[in-house]
Structure 1
Amino acid sequence: MLTTAPTVLASHQVLVVEDDEDFRFLVANALRERGHDVLEAPNGGFALRSWFGSDSSAMPDVIVSDLRMPGLSGLGLLTLLRGEEWHGLFVLITAFPEDSTYERAKELGAVVVAKPVDIMALADMVDRCVRIGS
């Protein structure tokens, strides 16, 4: 039986923000296999400096970010971006799920996913969300 990886209808720019280089590589590759244009950042501060500024065309459609990272956390990044009127999909991944994290992320319109993460299920979720948002 032949199987192929599902593909998205149109390429969407996805930013993966994760300090664990191996995990970031796995997530980024799974999303690339789905046809997404994937950018990578090792932490929130790097992401903010690299892709967010006056050029709104450079802003990604989706961000998949770890919660706890050196420097600017995923929740800190989300808070700053929402304050700048960025309305893309934000997926916050955490090994430390706390009620306050879920509540704050929900208030800011993000999805929280607890580790360990099934990477293919995460890629499926991103695909579904970008299709709905298109």
Structure 2
Amino acid sequence: MFGFTDGAIIHDSDSAQDNRLTVRRLTAQGRHLRVLVADDDFDFRETLVAVLKRFGLRVTVVGDGNELIEALSATSNERAPDLVITDNHMPGCTGLGALQIMQNAGLRTPTIVMTGFKDAATQVAAKSLGAVAVLHKPFDIIELKATIHAALV
């Protein structure tokens, strides 16, 4: 097990070397891919960030949906993240609320929504708002890596 918090577990079932090789194939024009992570659970967020950095990604972190919207609003198109990974249930603006704002603003950044709840309504709403995937906590590194790969290719 790589880390856990509030029932959300990330299993370390893949080698760091394999993770790096996958990311190298995704790296565009020799630069590291940029990921913006939004989650209000500090421990889970820090564990996720550590895993993403092992993948060779550059990670920016915010603690809630309002900070996510602020970070995206303050970013020019050439400095925009390549991927957003957001929790759905956060104080302020939810992940789905952030997706709605992104959609209204014409932001086309691939977004993965994480949730600890397995309800079909969240899945359908996230997809209708443009999410490329919904990850149900707990998830493992293999699932995370495959989801990121699918979002970026």
Same fold (TM over 0.5): yes
Gap runs ≥5 in structure 2 = 1-14
- Following superposition, the deviation at residue 29 of structure 1 comes to 1.2
Partner of 1:79: 100
Q: 2:54 aligns with which of 33, 38, 43?
A: 33
Contact 1:30 1:120 survives alignment (8 Å): no
Distance 1:65 1:72 in 2: 11
Q: Distance in 2 between matches of 1:26 and 1:54?
A: 25
Q: 63-72 or 119-128, which moves further after superposition?
A: 119-128
Q: Who is 1:4 aligned against?
A: 17
Runs (4 or more) in structure 1 with deviation over 6 Å come to none
Please state whether the residue corresponding to 2:68 is helix, strand or coil: helix
- Please give the root-mean-square deviation of Cα atoms over the aligned residues, in Å: 1.9
Under a length normalisation based on structure 2, what TM-score does the superposition of the two structures give? 0.76
Q: Does residue 92 of structure 1 match 2:107? A: no
Q: TM-score, normalised by structure 1?
A: 0.86
- One-letter amino acid of the structure 1 residue matched with residue 77 of structure 2: S
Residue 41 of structure 2 aligns with an amino acid whose one-letter code is: D
- C-alpha change, 1:118 and 1:85, in structure 2 (3 Å) is same
The answer to whether residue 72 in structure 2 is matched with residue 59 in structure 1 is no
Distance in 2, matches of 1:66 and 1:125, equals 15
Q: Is the 8 A contact 2:72 2:80 kept in 1?
A: yes
Aligned partner of residue 17 in structure 2, secondary structure: coil
- Unaligned segments of structure 1, at least 5 residues: none
Instruction: State the distance in 1 between where 2:52 and 2:139 align.
Output: 14
| Distance 1:3-1:63 versus aligned 2 partners, 3 A rule | closer
Query: 1:96 and 1:36, CA in 2 relative to 1: closer, same or farther beyond 3 A?
Result: same
CA displacement at 1:5 relative to structure 2: 3.9
Deviation digits for residues 62-119 of structure 1 (CA, Å, limit 9, x no counterpart): 1111110010111111110111111121111111222221111111221111111224
Q: Secondary structure at the match of 2:118?
A: coil
Query: Which one of 102, 106, 119 corresponds to residue 123 of structure 2?
Result: 102
